[in-house]
Amino acid sequence: MARTVVFLHGAWMTSACWEPFQGYFEERGFTTLAPAWPGKDRGVEAVRADSGPLAGLGGQEIIDHYAEIIRSQSEPPILIGHSFGGLFVQVLLSRGLGAAGVAIDSAPPKGIIATQPTAFRALGSIIANPANRSRVVHWTFEQFRYAFVHTLPQDQARAAYEQFVTPETGRIFFQGALSGVDRRSPFVVDFAKPDRTPLLMIAGEQDRIVPAALNRANHRRYRAEAPPVDFVEFPGRTHWIIAQDGWREVAAHVADWIDSRLPAPPAR
């Protein structure tokens, strides 16, 4: 079975957000990689100090970047993504890449419309200004806390912001918001792909920026006649599901699911 995992981070983050999961999976015998988006292959402080390389970066460039890394592996790896990273996992599996995929709190693909008020509030200040499409955008602590960590104590929320949050390319948010009317959207998923590899979708009950209802709508779009897509919703979890208290339970569920879907070949 595949024993290499490629972790795909989401917006506002670098690959540092995956360090707890990487440690857990390596303890379980996996080899892990956590490549950063183009322009984010540096520490958080370095990205904050010089975020210019992120200006104009779009979804297609990021997905192609990951596709090249995946193809360079000696065997098809397992893909695990969070937020936009979860959306990238869905797109990459649709392209025939990856031995299996896990999409955690996934941003919605083309055709899945966010109608929840909390999702609009979380990103409204960015997409309300068309000039942000070509800019690097910034999040205040208050915006981060509302969208990612609203159930955490103030000190834990502040620590997460200081440790992990970076500026971001504004373009990707416009591509996500307008994917339904964009014929060139990079976020197209073949929901009926007959030979898609296994996919697990995970939602956080308390997620505001990608509400659980949005993940359930995404899950329902996968055709019954195509390979089944598994779904689980974790109670009490926010969008910070991969790092808040209880992250180990999520990691264990993912690892157990991989073992069940990609069983080791029988010993000779």
Write out 147-188 in H/E/C secondary structure: HCCCCCCHHHHHHHHHHHCCCEECHHHHHHHCHHHCCCCCCC
What is the CATH topology of the domain spanning 4-261? Answer: Rossmann fold (3.40.50)
Per-residue confidence (pLDDT) for residue 226, from 0 to 100: 81
Structure tokens at 219: 């899950």
The order of strands in the sheet holding 100-104 is 31-33, 4-8, 78-82, 100-104, 199-204, 229-234
Separation CA 108–CA 215 (nearest Å): 7
Per-residue confidence (pLDDT) for residue 69, from 0 to 100: 98
The single residue listed with the structure tokens 């602590």 is 141
In terms of pTM, does the model score above 0.85? yes
Separation CA 97–CA 93 (nearest Å): 5
Per-residue confidence (pLDDT) for residue 265, from 0 to 100: 55
Per-residue confidence (pLDDT) for residue 89, from 0 to 100: 98
Which contacts (CB < 8 Å, 24+ apart) does range 63-68 have? 63/88, 63/91, 63/92, 63/186, 65/35, 65/37, 65/38, 66/6, 66/8, 66/35, 66/92, 67/92, 67/95, 67/97
* DSSP assigned state of 33: E
Structure tokens at 83: 């937020």
| Residue-by-residue pLDDT tens, the chain, 268 positions | 679 999 999 999 999 999 999 999 999 999 999 999 999 999 999 999 999 999 999 999 999 999 999 999 999 999 999 999 999 999 999 999 999 999 999 999 999 988 899 998 999 899 999 999 999 999 999 999 999 999 999 999 999 999 999 999 999 999 999 898 888 999 999 999 999 999 999 999 999 999 999 999 999 999 877 888 999 999 999 999 999 999 999 999 999 999 999 976 555 4
Residue 178 to residues 175, 185, 190, 268, Cα–Cα distance (Å): 5, 8, 18, 52
Residue 161 to residues 105, 146, 268, Cα–Cα distance (Å): 19, 12, 50
Separation CA 107–CA 234 (nearest Å): 17
Per-residue confidence (pLDDT) for residue 224, from 0 to 100: 79
Per-residue confidence (pLDDT) for residue 183, from 0 to 100: 87
Q: Which amino acid is at 67?
A: A
Per-residue confidence (pLDDT) for residue 133, from 0 to 100: 95
Helix axis angle, 59-71 to 84-94, nearest 10°: 60
